[in-house]
């Protein structure tokens, strides 16, 4: 069996399995970790498909930055406790699973009708598209044909950073009278006012 076939058949089950396991985990941290596994397998797929640059970027950005961020927030919020199993909305699970299966089937048949199961990639990819190696070829396309969107995304990143700073900062705000009375009601024994928060 050719190497890429082997690689595919090894990593595809891991990929799907880790995804499934991720959504079935009750512990959020476990789920995050399984997702990391999933990202690794996807990066391997990128490599197989001739996108070596994306292989690297996937690991660095997704697994390295995004998932780390996720884990930080999970730990910060203390939501590593297990999620309760009871489903409150009637029929949500059944319908959800059904629809998921439905989507998969639709995509399956779309693929079958679209390109069929026998189509192989053209062998000339490495010569034509990836000329000079994938990073060089990609940068050639990116900085020439897609230059404007590239700059726009850089602006986007700055905007996102600013937005996060705004969202995450604790604002000093005026203490409402209701809160003062509530505090006074909660501690009627106190004779002096409590110290203001730092």
134 CB-contact burial (10 Å; exposed 0-12 / middle 13-18 / buried 19+): buried
Least CB distance to other proteins at residue 188 (A) = 25
Residue 36 three-state SS: helix
**59 in contact with other proteins (CB under 8 A):** no
Residues 61-80 that bind other proteins (CB under 8 A): 61-62, 65-66, 69-70, 73-74, 76-77, 79
Q: How far is the CB of 161 from other proteins (least distance, A)?
A: 7
At 148, give phi and psi (nearest 5°). Answer: -60, -50
- Alpha-carbon dihedral 7, 8, 14, 20, rounded to 10 degrees: 170
**How far is CA 113 from each of CA 56, 66, 100, 120, rounded to the nearest angstrom?**
33, 36, 20, 15
Q: Can you tell me the distance from the alpha carbon of 34 to that of 22, in angstroms, rounded to the nearest whole number?
A: 5
Which residues within the stretch 35-54 sit at the binding site for other proteins (CB under 8 A)?
Answer: 35, 38-39, 42, 45-46, 48-51, 53-54
Task: Note whether 82 and 29 are within 8 A (CB).
Answer: no
Question: Is the Cβ of residue 147 or residue 190 nearer to other proteins in the bound state?
Answer: 147
Residue among 167 and 193 whose Cβ is closer to other proteins: 167
Long-range interactions of 134-137: CB distance < 8 A, separation 24+: 134/50, 134/51, 134/52, 134/53, 135/52, 135/53
Pick the stretch among 88-96, 178-186, 187-195 that binds other proteins (CB under 8 A).
88-96
Annotate each residue in 153-192 with x if it binds other proteins (CB under 8 A) or - if it does not, as one string: x--xx-xxx-xx--xx------------------------
144 lies in the binding site for other proteins (CB under 8 A): no
Smallest gap from Cβ 76 to other proteins, in A, equals: 7
Among 10, 148, 149, 182, binds other proteins (CB under 8 A): 149
Nearer to other proteins, 162 or 183 (CB): 162
How many residues line the site for other proteins (CB under 8 A)?
96
- Residue 27 is given by DSSP the state S
């Amino acid at each position: 069996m050719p190497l890429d076939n082997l690689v595919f058949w090894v990593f595809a089950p891991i990929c799907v399995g880790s995804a499934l396991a991720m959504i079935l985990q009750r512990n959020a941290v476990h789920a995050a970790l399984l997702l990391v596994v999933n990202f690794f397998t996807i990066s391997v797929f990128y490599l197989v498909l001739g996108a070596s640059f994306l292989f690297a970027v996937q690991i660095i950005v997704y697994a390295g930055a995004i998932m780390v961020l996720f884990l930080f927030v999970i730990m910060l919020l203390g939501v590593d406790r297990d999620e309760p199993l009871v489903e409150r909305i009637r029929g949500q699970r059944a319908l959800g699973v059904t629809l998921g299966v439905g989507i998969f089937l639709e995509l399956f048949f779309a693929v079958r009708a679209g390109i069929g199961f026998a189509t192989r990639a053209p062998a000339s990819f490495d010569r034509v598209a990836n000329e000079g190696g994938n990073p060089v070829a990609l940068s050639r396309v990116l900085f020439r044909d897609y230059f404007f969107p590239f700059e726009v995304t850089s602006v986007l990143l700055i905007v996102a950073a600013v937005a996060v700073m705004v969202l995450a900062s604790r604002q000093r705000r005026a203490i409402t009278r209701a809160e003062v009375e509530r505090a006074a009601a909660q501690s009627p024994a106190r004779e002096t006012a409590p110290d203001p928060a730092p």
